[in-house]
Amino acid sequence: MSAQQHFNLYKTEVSSELNRILDYWLRYTQDDVNGGIIGRIDHENNIFPEAPKGAVLHARVLWAFSAAYNLNGNTDYLAMASRTFDYLVSKFIDEQYGGVYWMVDHNGVPLDTKKQVYATAFVIYAFSEYYKASTNERAKQEAIDLYKILVEKSYDIEHTGYLEAFTRDWQSIDDLRLSAKDANEKKTMNTHLHVLEAYGNLYRIWPDAGLKTQVQTLLNNFTDHFIDKQTGHLSLFFDEGWNKSLNIISYGHDIEASWLLLEAAEIIGDEELITVFKKLAIVMADATLEGLDNDHGLWYEYDADKHGLVKEKHWWVQAEAMVGFYNAWQVSSDVKYAELSTQVWHFVKQHILDIEKGEWVWGITADGKLMPGEDKVGIWKCPYHNSRACIEIINRISQAV
């Protein structure tokens, strides 16, 4: 089989998988009683209709179905996107103070009203994609308004970068964390990466000069602070003045950032930054190889100070590896990266796809067993990383032909 035939097969397989993922979400996750998306479905597809509903979950569903419609024109996907957009606008947007609530209850009543910048970024990202699918002017304007309030309330004028979280009315808050596993720091790589991603998608539909400057500043934050110049890994947690805390390597974020940073530079057409991030895409992909197991699954993370290697292979980490390694091949023309991308996909097919019950499992442990107690749908389990990986591979292979 020729190289092109291999790529064509890869494209065919992920095209089928994209349909399978989204079919799962269409079948199981629409809350026809209270609106929006069911807040939790466990591994066995048991539905928890009274589970809280997260902003990130809804934004990622909106992005996934909008992006899939933009790929193939399936009107069922646009309908799913539209109902999710309506729910986000009506239940999560804070009309009084701006921004989005972190969580509502199953009836759509605000439950956790803190302003997590990460969540607002994902809504900007999703609204921008939905505008491309629907030309709904409200989606575009809401995205612009959310961008403006992040710049006004969260941007650190003195040091640059974005502060992590606030109270509902944008005052300081003690607990800044996205989740219990995160450090309680004012600036995090994860939030900055997804603010950058959101701003890049917004720039596609609203090429504003101030927005371009923000993207450039965020990219410089990565070269100045987040990317370790010695190791090529990302540093994850910082205080307000960019002093680093903790020594954790996140292999999934390393490989995800390797392609997202380059994409952002390309979106704004900054040739100098494109050159910088093409080189860094290879550096970061090579750094990620430290976390690749013999079965071509990518380990979750490494904690140099405490626990060592976290021997779990999460679904989203594998999805990002598929794209990041393929991107490294496009940048370098080194065939080993293309092979790595397809090898990770083979690992996903063998261990992460749930052929019987649908969607992807959360992950497996070192002995190949399913991680216990994890959900198919939840605050963090969404059709974002896996559908995006499929869409990226489809587009990248199609553009190369």
What mean pLDDT is reported for the chain?
96
Give tens-digit pLDDT for 206-243. 999 999 999 999 999 999 999 999 999 999 999 999 99
Q: Is the pLDDT of residue 38 over 70?
A: yes
Rg of the chain over Cα atoms, rounded to whole angstroms, equals 20
Domains parsed from the chain with CATH numbers: 3-400 (1.50.10.10)
pLDDT at residue 182 in the model: 84
Average pLDDT over residues 360-388: 96
pLDDT at residue 340 in the model: 98
Q: Is the pLDDT of residue 181 over 90?
A: no
pLDDT at residue 401 in the model: 60
Contact 287, 298 (CB under 8 A): no
Sign of the C-alpha dihedral computed for residues 321, 26, 40 and 51 taken in this order: positive
Sign of the C-alpha dihedral computed for residues 133, 139, 144 and 149 taken in this order: negative
Query: What is 128-180 written as a DSSP string?
Result: HHHHHHH--HHHHHHHHHHHHHHHHHTB-TTT-SB--EE-TTS---S---SST
Q: Count the neighbouring beta carbons within 10 Å of the beta carbon of residue 97.
A: 15
pLDDT at residue 2 in the model: 76
Tokens at residue 260, please?
């997202």
Q: What is the dihedral of CA 197, 200, 205, 210, to 10 degrees?
A: 130
Conformational region of residue 170, where left means phi above 0, alpha means psi within -120 to 50, and beta covers everything else: left
Query: For a pLDDT cut of 70, what percent of the chain falls above it?
Result: 100
**Band of pLDDT at residue 16, cut at 50, 70 and 90:** very high
Q: Is the pLDDT of residue 307 over 80?
A: no
pLDDT at residue 190 in the model: 97
Predicted model pTM = 0.97
Distance, CA of 393 to CA of 401 (rounded, Å): 13
pLDDT at residue 306 in the model: 76
pLDDT at residue 183 in the model: 85
pLDDT at residue 349 in the model: 98
Distance, CA of 180 to CA of 167 (rounded, Å): 18
Tokens at residue 267, please?
């979106």
Average pLDDT over residues 85-110: 98
Q: Is the pLDDT of residue 149 over 70?
A: yes
pLDDT at residue 380 in the model: 96
Angle, CA 190 vertex, CA 250 and CA 226 arms, to 5°: 75
Distance, CA of 256 to CA of 193 (rounded, Å): 9
pLDDT at residue 247 in the model: 87
Q: Is the pLDDT of residue 179 over 80?
A: yes
